[in-house]
Structure formats: C-alpha cells, structure tokens
Amino acid sequence: MATTENQVFEKVQNVLVEALGVDKEQVEPQAKLKEDLGAESIDYLDIAFQLEKAFTIKIEQKEFAQNMQGDDNETEDMTVAKVVKFVMTKVA
C-alpha cells in the first residue's frame, strides 16, 4: 500500500515534536523549522536521523541539506511541507 501525504505528514509531525520539543499544534505545513519551531543547525542531524528511523529510509547528509535549503541557500525557508515533500520522494 502506498504511503499517503497525510500519513507522511503525521509521521514528520511526530518526528519534529520529538526532535524540537514543540507542541503538535505548532507543526503545520507552512511552519518554518528555524523561524517558527526554533530549530538550530544541530537539530537537522537529529531530524534526518529520526526521519530515517520513522520511514525506514536512508538520507545522505548532503542530500538532506541540499533539499532543505531555500533559494538563497538558507535553512530559514525549510518548511514542514518541504520536509514532507522530500520524504515523499524517498518513500515512493
């Protein structure tokens, strides 16, 4: 059975709640990891590791960083929706 975007969002939401210590209600698709959820650079490693475990996928450190950067190469643009989209490409 294919994983739906909703299922991926729920798992990503749980990972971010665990990794960042935020409330589930704060983890909305448009929320920015750094600006809205308080993620720091070290948190991205933990997030990638937890995503690997949650989805049984392999994420290369460079690949995750490249996919999560905004147009200006800043992680400020990394939204929850962008993380979900990235994971969808890995589980497809």
pLDDT digits (tens, 9 = 90+) for 31-66: 999 999 999 988 989 999 999 999 999 998 888 877
CA distance 62 to 90: 15
- pLDDT, position 69: 64
Domains defined for the chain, CATH in brackets? 5-91 (1.10.1200.10)
- Residue 71's pLDDT is 55
CA nearest 50: which of 76, 6, 89, 20?
A: 20
Please answer whether residues 87 and 8 qualify as being in contact, where contact means their C-beta atoms are separated by less than 8 angstroms.
yes
Reported confidence tier of residue 27, pLDDT bands at 50, 70, 90: very high
Share of the chain above pLDDT 90, in %: 70
> Residues 6 or more apart from 82 whose CB is under 8 A from it?
67, 68
Closest CA to 9 of 23, 28, 35: 28
Instruction: Write down the pTM of the prediction.
Output: 0.88
